[in-house]
Structure 1
Amino acid sequence: MMAMNKRNPSEVVEKLVEEWTLQPHPEGGWYRELHRSSLPVVRSDQQQRCAISTILYLLDAGSLSRWHRVSHADEVWTHLQGAPLSLWCLKPEADQATREVLSMHNPVQVIPADHWQAAKAEGPYSLVSCCVGPGFSFEDFTMLRDLPESERPAAALAELI
C-alpha cells in the first residue's frame, strides 16, 4: 500500500472518503458523525439537545462549506490534516466577514452560536473535526442560499453562497 503522502490529492480524498465512510454534506464536502453525547441538555430556548456532537469533515479543492449557521450552538473547528483551511465568520448584523486560516500552526477556531460561517480548503484537501455544543441538529441548521435575498446579510461573500 502506497503511503498517503505519495498519492496524488484526488487519490487521498477518495481513500479518506472510503476509509471513514464519509457521505456528502448539504453545505458541501464530506462528513461522518463520530460522536453524539448521551447526556441531554436544555438550551436557553428550552429545546433539548445532546450535550455535544462531533463530526469528521473533509473539503477537497472543488468543494466549499457554503455559508450556513447553527442556531443556539457554538462550533469548534480543528484542523487535522492536509492543506490550510480558510474559515470565514460573519456576526449577525456585521458589515464585514472575518477570515481565519486553520493549519498545524493555528489548528482551532470557534464559531459562536448564530454566526454565519463558510470554509474552503486552500489546497488539494483539508480534513477537520467539527464539534458542536449543545449538540448539532439539522433543525438548527440554516443554509444562507435557502433564504430570500432580502434576508441575506450583505457582507456574506457571494462566491461562498
Structure 2
Amino acid sequence: MKDSSILRLIEQFQLSPHPEGGWYREVIRSDLTVKRSDGHQRNAITGIFFLLGKDDKSCWHCVDGADEIWIHLQGAPLSLWRLDPISNEIVRLTLDAAQPMQMIPAGCWQAACSQGAYTLVSCCVGPGFDFEDFKMLRNIPKQCWPEKALRELI
C-alpha cells in the first residue's frame, strides 16, 4: 500500500507508472524540432514530473542522443547515480534544496532512489525524449552490463 502523500501526488499530477520504476507524466513537449548529429529528428525539449516513493527505484537506464536534467521539486533528497559507459566510472550525485539540479550526459547509464518517504523531481531531456532512444540495463544481456552497476538498482 502506497503512503497517502504519494497517493495524493499521483492523483494531483495525474501520474502513471514509468517503465524504469516510479511514477511520471509528460508535461512539456516543444513544438520546435531539431535534427540530432545522428540524423534523427526530435522535439527540442521534453519535460516530465517524476515521483519516487521510499520503496521505488529508477532502475539503471540510458537515454541515447540526449542529455537529461534532473530538478528537485519537493520531498526528501534524491540519490542519483551516473555510470559512464566508456570509462565505467560511477558517480553518486544528490539532489536536494542545496543542490537542486544535476545533468546526466547522453549515453550514460543512470539510476535513482529517494532518500526518504518520497522525492518529486522534474526531468527535462534535450533533444526531446523518445522511447526509441531509451534502454533499460535489465533488458540487455548480462555479459554487457557495466561491472560497476549497482545490482540493487537493476
Distance in 2, matches of 1:133 and 1:38, equals 13
One-letter identity of the residue aligned with 1:63: D
Deviations 1:81-132 (A, max 9, x none): 0000000000112333100110000000000000000000000000000000
Corresponding residue SS for 1:79: strand
Alignment of 1:60-139 (within 5 A): 60-139=53-132
Please, what TM-score do these two structures have when normalized by structure 2? 0.97
What does residue 31 of structure 2 align with?
Answer: 38
Distance in 2, matches of 1:97 and 1:30, equals 25
Distance in 2, matches of 1:94 and 1:29, equals 28
Find out whether 1:47 has 2:37 as its counterpart: no
Higher-Rg structure is 1
Corresponding residue SS for 2:68: strand
One-letter identity of the residue aligned with 1:12: S
Q: More displaced, 78-87 or 93-102? A: 93-102
Corresponding residue SS for 1:77: strand
Contact 1:78 1:107 (8 Å CA) reproduced:
yes
RMSD: 0.9
Structure 1 unaligned residues grouped into runs of 5+: 1-8
Distance in 2, matches of 1:13 and 1:74, equals 28
Question: Deviation of residue 15 (structure 1)?
Answer: 0.3
What percent identity do the matched residue pairs reach? 55
Find out whether 1:28 has 2:16 as its counterpart: no
What does residue 145 of structure 2 align with?
Answer: 152
Distance in 1, matches of 2:58 and 2:75, equals 16
What does residue 10 of structure 1 align with?
Answer: 3
Please, what TM-score do these two structures have when normalized by structure 1? 0.93
Corresponding residue SS for 1:159: helix
Structure 2 unaligned residues grouped into runs of 5+: none
